[in-house]
Amino acid sequence: MTLNQIQARKDALTDAENVAIQPGDLAEGAIRLEVESFSVTANNITYAVVGDGFGYWNFFPPAGADADGKGIVPMWGHAKVIESNSDEIDVGERVYGYLPMATHLDVIPGKVSDSSFMDMAEHRQPMSPIYNQYSRLAADPEHDPAREAERMIYGPLFKTGFLIEYFMRKEGWFDATEVIMTSASSKTAMGLASVAKQNSPDIKRIGLTSEANVEFVEETGLYDDVYTYAEIGTLSLNDCVTVDFAGNAEVLGKLHEHFNAMLKYSCLVGATHIEARSSFNQDGELPGPKPTLFFAPDHAVAFFKEHGPVEGGKLVAATWHAFLDSVEGEVEIVKLKGLDAARETFLEMVGGSVDPAKGIVIEP
């Protein structure tokens, strides 16, 4: 068999190629997964943009003699066991979890339960356990065969939105009366807006987006008000928090300058605007609070430590189902065949040219 990987140059993401590899023998205790499907979203662009700083390039080391300076962007998706040297995992079983932009992946199952297992590969242990866990679909309470695409497209992004709302609510929203979200068309922002609408209805939800996406964002019904980035200077001056999903230093600067002392907390989350991502490394002084990066894996570990996996899962599920109902029909699910389609979609997203009203699923 041949294994294929999309290998991207870390310092030049548009330099990405489909590389064919001959896999070695399966290690003792390991299983080999055949990747069935994964989604490509703005979340994956964030993984690539901040990859070195947060270890995202370390999950799936690229193979081959010419792999120096290259990496494989992580995805969320489904896979099937096609070979097993594990006594606990059988060939034919399906799983959901963190996968490479590739056709296959070898993992070493450990901490196996009826519903999940962890990849115990040595190189993955320094990273957050959130990324190393795989759900066994036959006993996974979140699994819905009819909504596998929605889970890949929305699931990880929604959970980040859920955790942001939970964090803000625990902090009393920093005494703010409204939350202003950049990149309001992004799925993570939509997740936060949905959970805030459910769990913090007194907090006004304001979405910022490009002029081309205003209609789409308004039609979701998740925001109280929607403005373009050019209208930031016209926003009413109220006590607020900002959640920056765009990673655009110019936009972030305008928000800080406009609200100044009325800005109670400045939260950095993602990088959907890759061409202006310097807000992750803000050297200059901004009016108001210092922007603080929200690292979802750490918040997830703390959340499930506080509530436990069962009760925590119920809290997430309660808002997840309402979110799915609210976005049903808003995003067209587009399924594309082949790993080359993944490469092309990734490059389009790096260039910022993917329609937010479409959710892309790749079937390698």
On the question of a common fold for 3-143+331-363 and 156-297, the answer reads no
pTM: 0.78
Structure confidence at residue 354 (pLDDT): 65
Question: Mean per-residue pLDDT for 267-295?
Answer: 67
The domain limits of the chain are 3-143+331-363, 156-297
The percent of residues above 90 in pLDDT, for the chain, comes to: 63
Enter the CATH code of domain 156-297: 3.40.50.720
Q: Looking up tokens 């939260």, which residue turns up? A: 267
Q: What is the pLDDT of residues 205-227, one digit of tens each?
A: 999 999 999 999 999 999 999 99
Alpha-carbon torsion (307, 133, 333, 43), positive or negative: positive
Q: Looking up tokens 């990987």, which residue turns up? A: 5
Alpha-carbon torsion (174, 179, 183, 187), positive or negative: positive
Question: Mean per-residue pLDDT for 271-285?
Answer: 47
Structure confidence at residue 270 (pLDDT): 61
Please, which residues have CB within 8 angstroms of residue 209's CB and are 6 or more apart in sequence?
Answer: 182, 183, 184, 185, 216, 217, 226, 227, 228, 229
Q: What is the pLDDT of residues 71-109, one digit of tens each?
A: 999 999 999 999 999 999 999 999 999 999 999 999 999
Superfamily (CATH H level) for 3-143+331-363? Medium-chain alcohol dehydrogenases, catalytic domain (3.90.180.10)
Question: Mean per-residue pLDDT for 179-185?
Answer: 95
Residue 278 in this model has a pLDDT that exceeds 50: no
- Amino acid sitting at position 82: I
